[in-house]
């Protein structure tokens, strides 16, 4: 009887420890997301990095290390720092890939990294990367035709190039509206699954409308 008791206690103990580990993952990721939403990007990156080296099977933590670095670079002014962030983002994307990451989401992140490179040096890298950016997003859409981020990023990139070349942008804005539709229908597959982009997509539409009003 005593043995049974001990066994039960042990089992309960293990379960509670396990649940605690699960909880630590959830909690820590949660706190990382919170820091990110507050704009504390460096802190968020540090947290995701730590989780990434503990949970060696999860693709989501390294994905966020890369993603926050990418977003952080868009608002960064130092060229040197941006280059370092790009290198770090690329490193974590490849870690995430090794952990069987969702390939469509990875393609989107890769497209963003190359967009950063174009912004860095448009004359030089524009030619070099614009094809591969379009390829990244279209391949993501081939993998997941309903991925809202892929469609949003593709539309945004096409709008930017079209307005640079003076081509018509209407059909790309229609495509963007469809992407927003997809965002509304999007259901997260697991906890902390990538779920960003809607706000940005809506902003692109707003910018157009504001520009129209100004005219």
d(CA 101, CA 60): 7
State which residue, 130 or 196, has the beta carbon closest to other proteins. Answer: 130
Quick check: 127 binds other proteins (CB under 8 A)? yes
Query: Of the listed pieces 20-28, 98-106, 176-184, 192-200, which binds other proteins according to CB under 8 A?
Result: 20-28
- CA–CA dist 42, 63 (Å, integer): 15
Site string for other proteins, 152-191 (x = CB under 8 A): ------x--x-xxxxx------------------------
CA–CA dist 180, 184 (Å, integer): 6
The CA R_g of the chain, rounded to the nearest whole Å, is: 21
| Rounded Cα gap, residues 117 and 161, in angstroms | 15
Q: Which is nearer to other proteins, 35 or 105 (CB)?
A: 35
- Between residues 167 and 195, which has the closer beta carbon with respect to other proteins? 167
- The CA distance from 120 to 171, in Å, is 28
Buried b or exposed e, range 205-214, using 16+ CB within 10 angstroms: eeeeeeeeee
Under rule CB under 8 A, residue 90 binds other proteins: no
Nearest CB to other proteins, comparing residues 14 and 195: 14
Residues 158 and 168: their CA atoms lie apart, in Å, by: 10
By CB under 8 A, name the binding residues for other proteins: 5-6, 9, 12-13, 16-17, 20, 24, 28, 42-43, 45-46, 49-51, 53-54, 79-81, 83-85, 88, 121, 123-124, 126-127, 130-132, 134-135, 138, 158, 161, 163-167
């Amino acid at each position: 009887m005593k043995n049974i008791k001990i066994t039960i206690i042990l089992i309960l103990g293990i379960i509670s420890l396990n649940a605690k580990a699960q909880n630590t993952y959830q909690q820590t990721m949660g706190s990382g997301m919170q820091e990110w939403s507050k704009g504390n990007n460096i802190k968020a990156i540090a947290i995701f990095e730590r989780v990434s080296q503990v949970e060696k099977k999860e693709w989501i933590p390294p994905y966020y290390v890369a993603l926050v670095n990418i977003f952080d670079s868009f608002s960064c002014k130092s060229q040197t720092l941006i280059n370092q962030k790009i290198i770090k983002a690329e490193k974590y994307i490849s870690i995430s890939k090794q952990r069987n990451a969702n390939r469509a989401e990875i393609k989107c992140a890769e497209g963003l990294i190359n967009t950063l490179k174009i912004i860095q040096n448009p004359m030089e890298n524009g030619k070099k990367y614009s094809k591969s950016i379009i390829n990244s997003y279209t391949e993501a859409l081939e993998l997941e035709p309903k991925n809202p981020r892929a469609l949003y990023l593709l539309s945004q990139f096409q709008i930017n190039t079209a307005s640079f070349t003076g081509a018509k942008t209407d059909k790309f804005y229609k495509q963007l509206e469809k992407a927003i539709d997809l965002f509304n229908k999007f259901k997260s597959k697991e906890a902390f699954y990538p779920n960003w982009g809607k706000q940005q997509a809506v902003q692109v539409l707003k910018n157009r409308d504001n520009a129209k009003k100004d005219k």
